Amino acid sequence: MATKQSTINYLLDQLGGLSDVRALKMFGEYALYCQNKVVALVCDDELFVKITDAGKKFLGDKYEEGYAYKGAKASMHVPGDLLEDRAFLCNLIEITAKALPMPKPKLLKKRWK
């Protein structure tokens, strides 16, 4: 089951207080970017945030491990009721983005003639 566009619109609206947040569609699901870093996946209308020490500390006893899809790395599954708390969600995404390293620049491939 693919994620609905309305779910993405809702999440982006909830994260409106953050700059540089966007979602990119990938195979019917979405990757959530903040500060040009993939911070979460949205699969089957559920939010799965990358695990960081700072994120686990922030979530505390609300921390629940989950998997965005079969074969995926473990993520922090954010239950639906927490998605309604705009300040909480913005803080979690911002904390996660700050804790993650910058993505490695892609190398340009040389074209051989």
- What pLDDT, on the 0 to 100 scale, is given for residue 112? 65
35, with CB counted inside 10 A (0-12, 13-18, 19+), is middle
- What pLDDT, on the 0 to 100 scale, is given for residue 100? 95
pLDDT > 90: what percent of the chain?
A: 74
The model's pTM is 0.88
Domain 5-99 of CATH type 3.30.1460.30: yes
Q: What is the largest CA-CA distance in the chain?
A: 58
Q: CB-based contacts of 76: which residues, under 8 Å, 6+ apart?
A: 48, 49, 50, 51, 55, 56, 59, 63, 64, 65, 66
